[in-house]
């Protein structure tokens, strides 16, 4: 419980710092292009794949960074903007996302955000990074409650992974 409270406080603090610094909601710390900014690589595409983690099999980007869903979202519609997007940057693409190994390509799509960019969607869930994940394989955002709802890593079937139980429902 203390870990969840601490991580939630860290998330809120990061959101305030990001908002104060005029953050754009991009994912930092990994370099450029698909390797870290939350934006597509030079080809304009974003890859989504399946990797093993401490939570079991989860969705990751082409660099192995964990992808999350937000329970406050509606099907194929993001509700994470402004300070929220500073802590939970959207997974953005310029073209149709590319399905990696282990992914059900039929579940992969995009949705248009308020700023006109395309956010990657899997099984109706807009996908996000967590700004406190510092390297491939980190799952520090799992189960956190911030910006009005919980955040979960995503299973290959497109459902939330609840680390307090097993893979569970749709996440909505």
Which phi and psi (to 5°) does residue 106 adopt?
A: -65, -15
* Strands in the chain per DSSP E: 47-53, 56-61, 68-70, 92-93, 98-99, 108-112, 118-122, 125-126, 145-146, 149-154, 160-161
Position 165 scores a pLDDT of 55
38 in Cβ contact with 25 (< 8 Å): yes
pTM of the model: 0.76
CA-closest candidate to residue 167, choices 123, 109, 134: 123
- Beta-carbon contacts of 66 under 8 Å, excluding residues fewer than 6 positions away, are 53, 58, 59, 60, 129, 130, 133, 137, 138, 139, 141, 142, 153
pLDDT of residue 163: 77
DSSP state of 163: T
Question: How deeply is 118 buried, as exposed, middle or buried, from its count of CB atoms within 10 A (0-12, 13-18, 19+)?
Answer: buried
pLDDT of residue 44: 78
Tens digit of each residue's pLDDT, the chain (172 residues): 444 444 444 444 444 333 333 333 333 333 223 333 455 655 678 999 999 999 999 999 999 999 999 999 999 999 999 999 999 999 999 999 999 988 999 999 999 999 999 999 999 999 999 999 999 999 999 999 999 999 999 999 999 999 775 444 444 4
88-130: pLDDT as tens digits? 999 999 999 999 988 999 999 999 999 999 999 999 999 999 9
pLDDT (0 to 100) of residue 11: 47
What pLDDT score does 171 carry?
46
């Amino acid at each position: 419980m203390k870990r969840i409270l601490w991580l939630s406080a860290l998330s809120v603090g990061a959101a305030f710092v990001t908002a104060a610094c005029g953050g754009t909601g991009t994912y930092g710390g990994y370099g450029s292009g698909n390797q870290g900014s939350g934006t597509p690589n030079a080809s304009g595409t974003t890859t989504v794949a399946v990797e093993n983690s401490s939570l079991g099999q989860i969705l990751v980007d082409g660099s192995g960074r964990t992808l999350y869903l937000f329970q406050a979202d509606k099907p194929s519609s993001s509700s994470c903007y402004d300070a929220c997007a500073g802590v939970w940057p959207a997974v953005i693409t310029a073209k149709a996302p590319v399905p990696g190994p282990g992914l059900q390509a039929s579940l992969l799509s995009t949705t248009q955000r308020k700023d006109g960019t395309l956010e990657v969607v899997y099984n109706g869930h807009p996908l996000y990074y967590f700004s406190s994940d510092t390297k491939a394989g980190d799952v520090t955002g799992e189960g956190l409650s911030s910006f009005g709802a919980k955040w979960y890593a995503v299973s290959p079937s497109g459902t939330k992974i609840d680390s307090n139980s097993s893979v569970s429902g749709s996440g909505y």
